[in-house]
Amino acid sequence: MSERRSRPLIVPIFIPNQGCPHRCIFCEQEKITSQAGYPVNREHVEKVLYQAIQSKYFDPEREPEVAFYGGTFTNLPLGRIKELLRAVAPFISRGFFRSIRVSTRPDALGKEHLKAMKDLGVRTIELGAQSMDEEVLVLSQRGHTAEDTIGAVHMLRAEGFRVGVQLMPGLPGDSQKKIRSTITKIIGLRPDMVRLYPALVIKGTKLAQWYEEGRYRPMALDEAVKICIESCMRLETENIPVIRIGLMSSPSLLENGQIVAGPWHTAFGFLVRSGIHYKGIETELPRPGEALKIKIYAPKREIPLLRGYKNQGLARIEARTGARVTCVEIDDSIPSGRVKIEKI
């Protein structure tokens, strides 16, 4: 089974900024999701799901899930929560979808809401924790604490939900040291999954204003890639899967001038995954001067990672070894994450 097929299929329904107690300094969900100006109600949910199941990409084998993203789902009025989840219910009972996931804030979990959500098919709750550093949370005006995140993870576990944590390295006041410390604390919480979204400056946000005023400096792209490689490796070594790295591009986000600054790259996650792959094979590479040319063999599915974005992975290998990579060949007998090097 390919990696793509082995991942669950998530059909997102965006509820841009709905249920949010305030607008966070970095957040512009309408641009991130390209979905503004529609009512989030039963009809909308049914329309999105009918479109999804009729799509040629819909694959029931991938255990499809419905996800309510882009707002504070658990803070919606209980009646609205029930309306939206009941709209999904027939699609679950007919076998099109397996379950529902929602994203929310760590300080917005009411027991009554959680019970209703569980009864109506929600299995996973993703928490926008962003950082586990109190100073970063205050400077970023998140309005919740790291303690709230710890309490939320424990509570959701106790209630029988799978728990995801979303982190946003690079917010105001953040540093490499604080990001490392955040990852250590998250590992201690043992969530079922993590998403890493390095902070970006999006037009129209308070963060954009601070950036223009010189009050905020975002991470550079290479800095963000590096810390995400390290964070991802630490989490996955602890068997905590990182299911998304970097913001997904959407048409309105890609419009000229919408991303004002920050470590944006359309293939950010791939840059990180390719960097992780490189770290894994680094010790197998010849030392500088050991070869003039090399041929590299790797499993087929890992060749894109080896080559890297626009062959930057091969350039990195050439810079490290001083040898020219003459060709890359498939060898599926090689274990995952490894390569075979032939010196020429």
Q: Which residues bind ligand SF4 (CB under 6 A)?
A: 17, 20, 23-24, 27, 29, 70-72, 105, 128
* Minimal distance, residue 130 CB to ligand SF4, in Å: 8
* Minimal distance, residue 159 CB to ligand SF4, in Å: 21
* Minimal distance, residue 44 CB to ligand SF4, in Å: 18
Q: Which is nearer to ligand SF4, 140 or 321 (CB)?
A: 140
Q: Which is nearer to ligand SF4, 21 or 288 (CB)?
A: 21
Residue 125 structure tokens: 């709750």
| Strand bridging mode 122-130 / 201-202 | unpaired
Exposure letters 259-296 (e unless 16+ CB within 10 A, then b)? bbbbbbbeebbbbbbbbbbbebbeeebbeeeebeebbb
Q: Which is nearer to ligand SF4, 27 or 235 (CB)?
A: 27
* Minimal distance, residue 163 CB to ligand SF4, in Å: 16
Q: What is the DSSP letter of 257?
A: T
| Strand bridging mode 99-104 / 65-69 | parallel
C-alpha atoms less than 13 angstroms from C-alpha of 141 in its C-beta half-sphere: 11
Amino acid at 209: Q
Which residues, 6 or more positions from 195, have their beta carbon under 8 angstroms from its beta carbon?
Answer: 126, 164, 165, 166, 167, 242, 243, 244, 245
Q: Which is nearer to ligand SF4, 29 or 274 (CB)?
A: 29
CB 242 within 8 A of CB 236: yes
Q: Which is nearer to ligand SF4, 23 or 62 (CB)?
A: 23
CB 17 within 8 A of CB 36: no
* Minimal distance, residue 244 CB to ligand SF4, in Å: 15
Q: Which is nearer to ligand SF4, 203 or 279 (CB)?
A: 203
Q: Which is nearer to ligand SF4, 105 or 307 (CB)?
A: 105
* Minimal distance, residue 105 CB to ligand SF4, in Å: 5
Beta bridge partners of 329: 297
d(CA 180, CA 79): 40
* Minimal distance, residue 143 CB to ligand SF4, in Å: 8
Phi-psi label, residue 175: left if phi above 0, alpha if psi -120 to 50, beta otherwise? beta
Q: Which is nearer to ligand SF4, 24 or 317 (CB)?
A: 24
Exposure letters 305-315 (e unless 16+ CB within 10 A, then b)? bbbbbeeebbe
CB 85 within 8 A of CB 53: no
Amino acid at 324: R
Residue 69 structure tokens: 């993203």
* Minimal distance, residue 327 CB to ligand SF4, in Å: 46
